[in-house]
């Protein structure tokens, strides 16, 4: 979905606990002008406003709006392991190429080391395609109750099997009843991992 000015502004407001009035004051425009941006009635910004917004939002707003479908959000942290509550706060954006833009929807920051055998390390970003089913043997983001984890997912004899690729972690098996009750849900397929070197 193409990035819109409204989305950028509302995400920033939510992250920083600001009202529309406070945000308008911060940008230095009238509340009525700001409302026109929020409603989409006015999307043509003066250069001064573009520069101020770019500084406040810490991104090139003009580029973000032009290349919105190539800016993918970092939605928080996911554990390569277990026992981490899902954190869905917006952490920023990563720009991807035109081909990759069609392959995925968002990034998650990895914590834990259970997927090191798949070259997924703590601090890496995984690029995720949102979906609710994957083929057996795929690496996926799975919700177990409210907990998000990355695992190799397999299906055998009516069981869903979540396998770590670091041998110090146990494989977990879930029956159809457990899948329903906990619940256990696939929320995305990992397309690739991105490592940033300091």
Report the catalytic residues: 114, 151
First to last CA, the chain: 31
The Cβ of residue 141 has, within 10 Å, a number of other Cβ atoms equal to 25
Q: C-alpha angle with apex 90: 85 to 91, nearest 5 degrees? A: 95
φ and ψ at residue 53, rounded to 5 degrees? -65, -40
3-state helix, strand, coil in the chain (%, to 5): 30, 30, 35
């Amino acid at each position: 979905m193409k990035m819109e000015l409204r989305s950028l502004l509302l995400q920033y407001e939510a992250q920083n606990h600001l009202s529309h009035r406070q945000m308008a004051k911060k940008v230095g425009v009238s509340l009525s002008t700001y409302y026109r941006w929020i409603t989409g009635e006015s999307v043509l910004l003066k250069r001064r406003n573009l520069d101020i917004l770019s500084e406040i939002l810490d991104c090139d707003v003009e580029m973000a709006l032009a290349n919105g479908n190539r800016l993918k959000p970092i939605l928080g942290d996911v554990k390569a392991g277990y026992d981490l509550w899902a954190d869905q706060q917006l952490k920023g954006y990563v720009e991807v190429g035109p081909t990759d833009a069609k392959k995925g929807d968002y990034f998650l920051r990895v914590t834990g080391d259970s997927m090191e055998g798949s070259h997924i390390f703590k601090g890496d970003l995984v690029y995720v395609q949102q979906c609710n089913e994957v083929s057996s043997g795929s690496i996926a983001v799975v919700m177990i109750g409210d907990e998000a984890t990355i695992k190799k997912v397999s299906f055998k004899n009516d069981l869903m099997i979540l396998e770590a690729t670091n041998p110090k972690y146990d494989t977990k098996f879930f029956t159809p009843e457990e899948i329903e009750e906990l619940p256990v849900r696939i929320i995305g397929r990992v397309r690739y991992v991105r490592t940033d070197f300091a």
